[in-house]
């Protein structure tokens, strides 16, 4: 995860176990590639234009490295979430003075595997730890 996306005070919730169960189900033949590689068109578009590299191979196809995209949810934000495309947007969200929760997904741009990776709440008073 790129460092600017979460700071250690943000109370990060990891979805690694759920992810691992899904990956395992695929490799054991209990889930198909069609089921687990189902990124929607909008998510694919975002993954092409606004993603951050994760430097980890795709657990499904192993043909590409994963990328990460982050969406922010909270009062005053779009129902479908606001894309956090860069540090400037993250800083703006941190300082808007409203509770905001960010959800980061990992995506493979070759097979379109996608899974929730982590979530974290950001508050409006976190200037020092959001600097990097
Ligand atoms: Zn893949």
In a domain, 60, yes or no: yes
- pLDDT single digits (tens) 23-69: 999 999 999 999 999 999 999 999 999 999 999 999 999 999 999 99
In a domain, 23, yes or no: yes
Q: Give the pLDDT band (50/70/90) at residue 130.
A: very low
Distance 78 CA to ligand 1 centre (A): 29
In a domain, 3, yes or no: no
Q: Give the pLDDT band (50/70/90) at residue 11.
A: confident
Using alpha carbons, select from 12, 33, 10, 7 the residue that is nearest to residue 116.
12
Q: What angle do CA 112, 91, 123 make, to 5 degrees?
A: 95
Contact 70, 2 (CB under 8 A): no
In a domain, 18, yes or no: yes
Distances (CA, A) of 77 to 23, 44, 72: 32, 21, 8
Distance 13 CA to ligand 1 centre (A): 24
Q: Give the pLDDT band (50/70/90) at residue 131.
A: very low
In a domain, 26, yes or no: yes
Distance 5 CA to ligand 1 centre (A): 23
Distances (CA, A) of 128 to 103, 112, 121, 125: 21, 36, 16, 9
Distance 99 CA to ligand 1 centre (A): 34
In a domain, 2, yes or no: no
Distance 109 CA to ligand 1 centre (A): 7
Using alpha carbons, select from 109, 130, 128, 131 the residue that is nearest to residue 120.
130
Number of structural domains (the chain) is: 1
In a domain, 5, yes or no: no
- In what helix (H) or strand (E) does residue 119 lie, and over which residues does it extend? strand 114-122
């Amino acid at each position: 995860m790129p460092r600017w996306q979460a700071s250690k005070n943000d109370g990060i919730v990891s979805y690694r176990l759920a992810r691992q169960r899904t990956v395992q189900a695929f490799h054991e033949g209990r889930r198909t590639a069609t089921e687990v590689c189902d990124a929607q068109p909008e998510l694919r578009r975002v993954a092409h234009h606004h993603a951050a590299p994760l430097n980890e191979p795709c657990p499904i196809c192993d043909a590409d490295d994963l990328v990460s995209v982050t969406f922010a949810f909270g009062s005053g934000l779009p129902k479908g979430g606001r894309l956090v495309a860069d540090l400037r947007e993250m800083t703006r969200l941190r300082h808007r003075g409203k509770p905001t929760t960010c959800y980061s997904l990992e995506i493979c741009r070759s097979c379109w595997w996608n899974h929730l990776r982590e979530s974290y709440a950001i508050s409006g008073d976190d200037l020092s730890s959001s600097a990097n």
